[in-house]
Amino acid sequence: MNLMMLLEMAASGTPDRVAVQNGADTLTYDELFQAAGRAASEVQASGCERFAMLDVSSLALPVGLFGSAWAGVPFAPLNYRLTGEEIEGLASQIAPAYLVTEDARVEALSQLPRTQVVSREAFLARAGTADAADPSWPMDPDDIAVLLFTSGTTGAPKAAVLRHKHLVSYILGSVEFGSASEEDAALVSVPPYHVAGIAALASSVYSGRRIVQLSNFEAEAWVELARSERVTHAFVVPTMLTRIIDVLDGSGDAKLPHLRALSYGGGKMPQQVIEKAMRLFPETDFTNAYGLTETSSTIAILNPEDHRSAASSEDPAVRRRLTSVGRPLPSLEVEIRDDAGHALAPGERGEIHVRGEQVSGEYLGRGTTVDGDGWFPTRDAGSIDDDGYLFLEGRADDVIVRGGENLSPGEIEDVLLEHTAVADSAVVGIPDEQWGEGVAAVVVLRAGRSASVEELQDWVRGRLRSSRTPQRIEFCDELPYNETGKLLRRQIRAQLASGEPG
Amino acid sequence: MGQLKAGVRLRSAACATEVMVVASPDGAVDLQCGGVPMLDAKAEASAGGSPSPQAAEGSILGKRYVSESGDLELLCIKPGDGSLAIGETLLKTKDAKALPSSD
């Protein structure tokens, strides 16, 4: 079992179809297969034990991913937004490594110990001309395919270990081989170091879909590419969709006529944003995909039919599903458990646990967090309703414990967002002498709108139990998100503690 | 073929078919393609056989093949002229689960 097998199949099924495209550069499935083989020879000749990539998406990404699999070394995409010192820290965890990066960084990175640095251009040139590789790759399902450093919104970054068996199981369980038609094209705008970027590559290859890369997400460029390349499928994180809608809403022409399927995930999608998107693109199928790095991407989906029935329902319980992440994939099991590890009944809130062949739950050098029965504790809090729909309620670590009562920040944020003057909000726990922890909110107001602290407190008090009313509300211009749309609560807590408004 | 292990790659001794084992039962399995036992993909190629007429319906790239009981599942990674079977019982193709694209 090896990721390369997916590319081998696509290259034999549709050799002449374009596999990946970046600007004017393209590789067909057969060309990608050949390039992966030559890249594998390069890496093997270097003697390096890992293949790292510190770069935006380019043709070097699929060549590097599949070339690594062919060579039998783990592929480790690194976050190019980190500081030099942070990058040094990650590099030391994966050395000796063969590192592909942009030309401008080659000199500086060459100082890294036990790291062989090659520019993207030089790497692609060698993958285009070097000797062909031994046409066989390891088939051990337990070999490491990918090392992904988690975003580190809490604590130091650690590398999640995804083995070939995890990624291949995910693809076989969720994608039908060769199901894409000649016209299908997937626009991939998430960075290579995000699990969704890796999953998008593997799924597109197995389905035989053309991948259109957008190296740096920018809403105008995304819309333009979606139109000019007749993009049929795309994945976005919530902040991307918000910006895309802003761009389209302000223009005379809001149509994306070819976009058949838009999936989203990687963070909480505000209900107003998805409702607006559904109104703007009534013909498009929306899918909410919930997953984690440690689970090889998606573990639950709210499918297009769920979206439509929820949006058109008068029943509040059905309508609420638009804020859920849908139901677990058929190839997986999901359970909600209390702190003592006991499974909870529908509607009860606890920590989400997941079990299945795509689930890794292992970190490099730290072992596995999966229990003896195969269950992985996600550290995400949530509940499942009577019909099996999974609702997320933030990270288990973000829960506010006020006087023994567990409060979910997401629930309070949702209520604040329903206020017409509120554009964005974040709720966190703050130290409180009487209750242990108290509720604080940081609110971004809409342009030209105003609301007082008392007004917003009354608003929440009128809709939720009084324990959930924020005792402190601060206003700010923008909340801190990382580049893939994750709210940085740790930063908000620190800012509140230091007395600054969020 | 004996005991099969998930993730292992096998090839036909009678045609171009190659498969990967997705799931397998405990114990020995008489896995055949084209009427003759399948080989490990790395095994030395034998002199080009051809499928027996009773097992020549062919295999299809990307299809899953399952046994009657469902405990053996294969993925066809190279198509060929032979039929996949346990002993003389042909394996069936498994219908795909339709899932929306999530990435």
* B2 located within any domain: no
CA-to-CA distance for A172 and A5, rounded, in angstroms?
11
**What is the 3-state secondary structure of A62-101?**
HHHHHHHHHHCCCEEECCCCCCHHHHHHHHHHHCCEEEEE
- Identify which of B23, B29, B26, B41 has the alpha carbon closest to the alpha carbon of residue B2: B29
What integer is the mean pLDDT of A77-86? 90
Residue A458 clears pLDDT 80, i.e. is over it: yes
Report DSSP letters for B24-83, one per residue: --SSB--EEETTEE-EETTSPPPS-----GGG-S-B-TT-EEE-TTS--EEEEEE-BSSP
Say yes or no: A285 contacts chain B, CB-CB below 8 A.
yes
What integer is the mean pLDDT of A95-101? 97
Q: What share of chain A is helix, strand, coil (3-state, %, to 5)?
A: 35, 25, 40
Residue B67 clears pLDDT 90, i.e. is over it: yes
Beta-sheet strands, E only, within A327-372: 327-328, 333-337, 350-355, 362-363, 367-368
Q: State the pLDDT at residue B1.
A: 62
CA-to-CA distance for A34 and A49, rounded, in angstroms?
21
- The pLDDT mean for chain A works out to 93
Q: State the pLDDT at residue A146.
A: 98
Say yes or no: A434 contacts chain B, CB-CB below 8 A.
no
Q: What does the pLDDT look like over A123-166, one tens digit per residue?
A: 999 998 876 677 789 999 999 999 999 865 555 678 999 999 99
* B35 located within any domain: yes
Say yes or no: A436 contacts chain B, CB-CB below 8 A.
no
What integer is the mean pLDDT of A406-411? 85
The residue whose two tokens read 């209900």 is A271
Q: What does the pLDDT look like over A211-230, one tens digit per residue?
A: 999 999 999 999 999 999 99
B9 forms bridges with which residues in the sheet?
A: B20
Q: State the pLDDT at residue A502.
A: 44
Q: State the pLDDT at residue A153.
A: 53
Tokens of A257: 């006529």
Q: State the pLDDT at residue A462.
A: 93
- Identify which of B22, B77, B83 has the alpha carbon closest to the alpha carbon of residue B50: B83
A&B contacts, CB < 8 Å? 81
Q: What does the pLDDT look like over A259-310, one tens digit per residue?
A: 999 999 988 888 888 999 999 999 999 999 999 999 999 999 999 999 999 9
The answer to whether B99 contacts A136, with C-beta atoms less than 8 Å apart, is: no
Residue B64 clears pLDDT 90, i.e. is over it: yes
Tell me the Ramachandran region of residue A192: left when phi exceeds 0, alpha when psi lies from -120 to 50, beta otherwise: alpha
* B14 located within any domain: yes
User: From the CB of residue A386, how many other CB atoms can be counted at a distance below 10 Å?
Assistant: 9
Q: State the pLDDT at residue A450.
A: 95
Query: Range(s) for CATH 3.30.300.30 in chain A?
Result: 399-497
Task: Give the contacts of A340 (CB within 8 A, at least 6 positions apart).
Answer: none
What integer is the mean pLDDT of A348-365? 95
Work out the pLDDT band at A500, boundaries 50, 70, 90. Answer: low
Residue B45 clears pLDDT 70, i.e. is over it: no
Domain count, chain B: 1
The answer to whether B103 contacts A8, with C-beta atoms less than 8 Å apart, is: no
The answer to whether B62 contacts A1, with C-beta atoms less than 8 Å apart, is: no
Cα A333-A336-A340 angle, rounded to 5 deg: 125
Give residue B52's domain range.
9-93
The architecture CATH gives domain A399-497: 2-Layer Sandwich (3.30)
- DSSP reduced 3-state for A243: helix
Share of chain A above pLDDT 90, in %: 80
Q: Which residue of B has its CA nearest to A7?
A: B77
* Chain A neighbors of B61, CB-CB under 8 A: 9, 12-13, 177-178
Say yes or no: B95 contacts chain A, CB-CB below 8 A.
no
What integer is the mean pLDDT of A349-376? 95
Tokens of B48: 């080009």
Q: Which residue of A has its CA nearest to B94?
A: A176
Residue B47 clears pLDDT 60, i.e. is over it: no
- DSSP reduced 3-state for A280: helix
Q: How many residues are present in chain B?
A: 103
Residue A484 clears pLDDT 80, i.e. is over it: no
Element at B14 (helix H, strand E): none
Say yes or no: A295 contacts chain B, CB-CB below 8 A.
no
- The pLDDT mean for chain B works out to 90
The answer to whether A1 contacts B41, with C-beta atoms less than 8 Å apart, is: no
What integer is the mean pLDDT of A253-263? 92
User: From the CB of residue A293, how many other CB atoms can be counted at a distance below 10 Å?
Assistant: 20
* Chain A neighbors of B96, CB-CB under 8 A: 176, 179
* B43 located within any domain: yes
The answer to whether B102 contacts A140, with C-beta atoms less than 8 Å apart, is: no
Share of chain B above pLDDT 70, in %: 95
Query: Does CATH number 3.20.20.105 belong to domain A332-397?
Result: no
Residue A188 clears pLDDT 50, i.e. is over it: yes
**Phi and psi angles of residue A215, each rounded to the nearest 5 degrees, phi first:** -65, -40
Chain A: nearest CA to B98, how far in angstroms? 8
Query: Range(s) for CATH 2.30.38.10 in chain A?
Result: 332-397
**Phi and psi angles of residue A441, each rounded to the nearest 5 degrees, phi first:** -125, 140
CA-to-CA distance for A169 and B61, rounded, in angstroms?
18
Work out the pLDDT band at A112, boundaries 50, 70, 90. Answer: very high
Is residue A233 within 8 Å of A261, Cβ to Cβ? yes
Facing residue for B102 by CB, picked from A164, A176, A263: A263
